[in-house]
Each structure stands twice: as structure tokens, then as C-alpha cells.
Structure 1
Amino acid sequence: MKLSNKQKQFLKGLAHPMKPIVQLGSNGLTEGVVAEIDSALNHHELIKVKVPSDDREEKSLIMDAIVRETNAHKLQVIGHTLIIYRPGEDCKIQLPK
């Protein structure tokens, strides 16, 4: 599924007031963290993930791995926060056409 720019803007607007649901710890991206992100996506569809890393390259690689492992759409990165979206089976969020 490809998201249009209008749909991405709509989702970013929904995500703006949200707090990060998952925050990576000192162990980085583990299988448990990926499972938790996957579970949060199943429940919420649109989530924020906090990736506290001082190294930009490492942070970028971790964020790309999260998107790849969860089959989610990367909407935006603001600082250490990644906003991702994955439609559920019973779409909770109605996207504009």
C-alpha cells in the first residue's frame, strides 16, 4: 500500500499530540522491542517510537530496521522520535482518499 502525500499529512496531524509508545533502552533494538512495536502497531496502527542515540548513523539504521521488521510506513522523524503507521485488519483510522 502506497500512501499519498495527503494521507501522510493527515496521519502526521493525528500523531502530533501523541506521546511515544515504545522507547528503546540501552540494549538497543532487540527481538523483544520489535515484538512490542509490532503489538503496538496492531493495537494502535499509528505510533511514535523513541530512539535515544547520539550517533546519527546508528539512529538512522535502527529506525530503518524498525520499519523493515514491522512492515510499517515511515511517516516522519523528529529528533529521536520515529512516527510509523501500519493499517490493521479492522482499519481504526480512516484515511482520506
Structure 2
Amino acid sequence: MNLRGKQKRFLRSKAHHLQPIFQIGKGGINEQMLVQVNEALEKRELIKISLLQNTDELTDEAALTIANVTKATVVQTIGHVIVLFKPSSKEKYQHLSKEVRDI
């Protein structure tokens, strides 16, 4: 999903109060983590992922890798934090995606 500037700004404001629910450490990105990220995106639509200091991953590369595999959109990378958005396929979880569509 391609997001316009106003939509990204709206999602950034919603993500500001979220805590990162995944951390990428020295193990890097693995298949099991990507499955869990995809499941979390399905239920929450907007998540934060933080990169720990001991990781070898670069923030931008990690964001692109995760976004490509999960088919999510990178809303923002700031410091060692990645914000991802993916509209849920299940209607009962589509809270943010309905608001984003109306913007």
C-alpha cells in the first residue's frame, strides 16, 4: 500500500505512543521472527520494532527486509526504531486502515 504524506503523518502520530513489541539483537532477523511480525501486523496494523545496540543489522536495511517479506509499509525509521503499517485482512482488526483510507 502506497501512503501519501498526510497518511504517513497520521500513522506517525498514532505510533508515537506505542512501545516497540519486537527487538532485533545479535541474532539478527530470522524466519521465525518474520512470522511473528506478520501475525502482529495482522492484529495491530501498526507496530514498532527496535534494534538493539549489539545487532549487526542496519536500521534501513532491516526495515526494507521486514517490509518486503511481510508486504508491509515502512512509515518511519528514526534512530534504531522502525515503524511498520500493514492493513489487516480481517475486518474486525481494521481500525487504523479505515481511518487511513479516509484521509
**TM-score, with structure 1 as normaliser:** 0.88
Residue by residue, what CA displacement relative to the aligned partner does 1:57-76 show, whole Å, maximum 9, x if unpaired? 73322221011111001010
May I ask how many residue pairs the two structures share in their alignment?
97
Partner of 1:6: 6
Equivalent-residue separation in structure 2 for 1:56 and 1:27 (angstroms): 9
Structure 2 gap segments, 5+ residues each: none
Does the residue aligned with 1:74 lie in a helix, a strand or coil? strand
CA distance in 1, matches of 2:37, 2:19: 14
Number of the residue aligned with 1:86:
86
CA distance in 2, matches of 1:27, 1:83: 20
If the length of structure 2 is used for normalisation, what is the TM-score?
0.84
> Which has a greater percent of helix?
2
Q: In the TM superposition, what whole-angstrom CA distance separates every residue of 1:37-69 from its partner, at most 9, and x where no partner exists?
A: 101101100000112256887332222101111
Counterpart residue identity of residue 88, structure 1 = S
Alignment map for 1:13-92 (pairs within 5 Å):
13-53=13-53, 58-89=58-89, 90=91, 91-92=94-95
Can you give the 5+ residue segments of structure 1 that lack an aligned partner in the other structure? none
RMSD between superposed Cα atoms in Å: 1.9
| CA 59–9 in structure 1, closer or farther in 2 if over 3 Å, else same | closer
